[in-house]
Amino acid sequence: MKKVLLILLAMVFVMPLVMTVVLSFRGENNTITLQNYSDLLFNCFIFYPMFWNSVLYAIVITLIQFLVIIPCAFGFINARFKGKNILFVFYIILMMMPLQVTILPNYIGLRDIGLINTHWSIILPAIFSPFGVVIMNQYMQGTDNSVIEAMRLETSSIIRIIIHAVIPQIRICIFATGLFVFADCWNMLEQPMLFLREDSLKTLSVFIANADKYAGNIMLPAAVIFMIPVLLLYRFFNQHLEKGLTFGELS
């Protein structure tokens, strides 16, 4: 009984997914057609630069942010200085801040450097998001410190220590964080809407939100194509999700 209920519930959860795919092939009078797809792919050329932008932003942000968050989480664990705990609590609070609070400071910061309406306006603030730092820090607390200690006898280069002693231990967490950050960037809507003016810089998520502006029934096929990259990544990395995310006592 419980089993059936759970399976039914799970089906409700996948339903919207299935429906998107099914309905994307629906033509007039409930016929099956590829018309929607050909409208999208051959009549709506703004789709391509916007798709490319989504790919570019998501990949660049996901990769570059590791250069910031791995050293940062490592620093939080190993450095000893006054105010470290308060600084970390600040990161937690910043992580919890809704976009509507952070987006205005982000905007002002970007405007002052003159980056509004460029690719960087999307990439730079996302790289410094505190989410990855907090998640990595939680994970690193459970890793084996003796490897790092042993490595310190051999080299004084902290970069080598991070590459050879830290990263191999946190691989699972890197996959989990990467999946999360990628999906988050892929879904971005507010930032491209507010930081960018030209359509040619915007993302697929903006395209879908305004799809009825461009042509007929292209919204659903666009949504299907939109889902594919994230679902593929999910397929390969989801086994790391649970082990890579350890949130318990934060501070």
Burial 24-55 (b: 16+ CB within 10 A, else e): bbeeeeeeeeebbbebbbeebeebebbbebbe
- Sequence length of the chain is 251
The nearer residue to other proteins, 30 or 100, going by C-beta atoms, is 100
Residue 38 sits at the vertex; the CA angle it makes with 37 and 40, to the nearest 5 degrees, is: 65
The nearer residue to other proteins, 49 or 129, going by C-beta atoms, is 129
- Least distance in Å: CB of 45 to other proteins? 20
- Least distance in Å: CB of 41 to other proteins? 17
The nearer residue to other proteins, 188 or 201, going by C-beta atoms, is 188
- Least distance in Å: CB of 60 to other proteins? 15
The nearer residue to other proteins, 167 or 241, going by C-beta atoms, is 241
Q: Are 148 and 157 in contact (CB under 8 A)?
A: no
Q: Are 200 and 49 in contact (CB under 8 A)?
A: yes
- Least distance in Å: CB of 33 to other proteins? 18
26: DSSP letter:
B
